[in-house]
Amino acid sequence: MPTRDIIVVGASAGGVGALQRLCAGLPEDLPAAIFVVQHLSPSARSVLPHLLDKMGPLRALSPVDGQEIERGRIYVAAPDQHLLLRPGRILMRRGPHENRTRPAINALFRSAAIHYGSRTIGAVLTGLLDDGTDGLLAIKATGGVSIVQDPADAEWPSMPRNALKRDHVDHVVPLDQLPALLMQLVHEEVAASIPIPREYLIEDRIAAQEFAVAEPEIVAPGDPSHLSCPDCGGVLNCIVSDGEVRFRCQVGHAFTPLGLAAAQCDELERALSVAVRTHRDRLKLFEQMLENAVARGMTHAARRWSEASEESGRLISALEDAMISLRKSFGEGEA
């Protein structure tokens, strides 16, 4: 009987320290391969493999496309590339962003569920929003095991907390107990994998860029919604799987509901910032024209520029208040 020999781990804010603690507790004889996605800046050079390599006996590295999988290794996603799994090997691909991130946790978890099924263990650690939740659902759908760091133990509890809102988590543990739990799980024999819904298969191929435009069956799954993609402006399809909702456009950009709300919040804040800057420029213009009109004794023109200055000031205050309210309202919903 096969055992659970594929461990996928996702983290975001606070993840570097959490991953270091996890790796420090792993034993040298772990009979599994570990794959890590930590949300990274796309333009920065990542030193995470080096940091994790120093923490414990297992070698950590950033894999190359097509690299063969070896047990007892920690494979860390590189910046701006999805880390995906195939039978016996690794893919590193620049597929569409998911929740405006690449690498994305859901993309890794989904690929592990598809190609390794019940042999997969998925773990969501500290972070913001809900990347990893849909990936855990995919792992559970094929018979794998799902783990979430105890939110009370996480530096940023939103990601594990949002995963716990779904009825699919097998284990909730503090980070210091995770190595022992993994050692227990990797020695358990597993049953045959459960077939995964077709939507996950299509999304995995989209992330891996394993399709041609001419293939008519490879289209974004789901049904068109009335929402537009924040990344490209295209129509978002709404995908419902096991009662869970997510969104993907024809280009391939993918969003969870919280991820889409965060992207919309970013767009609104950007638009409000532009409006504030424009009104500040108008205010400077109006004040300059007012000063000029007063100096020339033009009473009617001075009154007009004065009224315009006051109106711009009111609009700036209203826009700044709207930006503050936007941050507060989404911050409460996100947590």
Q: Are 262 and 256 in contact (CB under 8 A)?
A: no
Q: Is 12 a catalytic residue?
A: yes
Q: Tokens 């923490």 map to which residue?
A: 55
Alpha carbon dihedral 128, 241, 198, 40, in 10-degree steps, equals 0
In the chain, the percentage of residues whose pLDDT exceeds 90 is: 79
Q: Given its phi and psi angles, is residue 196 left (phi above 0), alpha (psi -120 to 50 degrees) or beta?
A: beta
- pLDDT for 300 equals 92
276-290: pLDDT as tens digits = 999 999 999 999 999
78-124: pLDDT as tens digits = 999 999 999 999 999 999 999 999 999 999 999 999 999 999 999 99
- pLDDT for 332 equals 43
* Residues 6 or more apart in contact with residue 159 via CB below 8 angstroms: 10, 11, 12, 124, 125, 126, 127, 128, 129, 130, 131, 132, 133
Q: Are 59 and 73 in contact (CB under 8 A)?
A: yes
DSSP state of 170: S
- pLDDT for 211 equals 66
In this prediction, residues 298-304 reach a mean pLDDT of 92
Confidence of residue 166 (pLDDT cuts 50, 70, 90): confident
Q: Is 39 a catalytic residue?
A: yes
Instruction: Report the amino acid identity of residue 174.
Output: P
Q: What's the mean per-residue pLDDT of the chain?
A: 91
In this prediction, residues 126-132 reach a mean pLDDT of 93
In this prediction, residues 112-141 reach a mean pLDDT of 95
Give the residue from 271, 268, 233, 226 showing the smallest Cα distance to 253. 233
Q: Tokens 């047990």 map to which residue?
A: 71
Confidence of residue 326 (pLDDT cuts 50, 70, 90): confident
6-186 CATH, one of 3.40.1280.10, 3.40.50.2300, 3.40.50.180, 3.20.20.140:
3.40.50.180
- Start-end of H helices in the chain: 15-24, 48-55, 105-116, 133-141, 158-164, 178-186, 198-208, 257-295, 299-334
Q: Tokens 């980070």 map to which residue?
A: 175
Q: Report the alpha-carbon distance of residue 128 to residue 125 in Å, rounded.
A: 10
212-267: pLDDT as tens digits = 444 555 566 889 999 999 999 999 999 987 778 999 998 889 999 989 998 998 88
Which of the residue ranges 74-78, 98-102, 307-311 has the most confident prediction, judged by mean pLDDT? 74-78
Q: Is 131 a catalytic residue?
A: yes
- pLDDT for 178 equals 98
- Chain-centroid distance of CA 266 in Å reads 15
- pLDDT for 244 equals 82
Paired tokens of 27: 């034993």
The active-site residue out of 111, 115, 131, 168 is 131
Q: What is the pTM of this model?
A: 0.86
Q: Report the alpha-carbon distance of residue 75 to residue 89 in Å, rounded.
A: 11
Considering only residues 324 and 6, tell me which one the structure prediction assigns the higher pLDDT.
6
- pLDDT for 40 equals 86
The active-site residue out of 39, 115, 253, 279 is 39
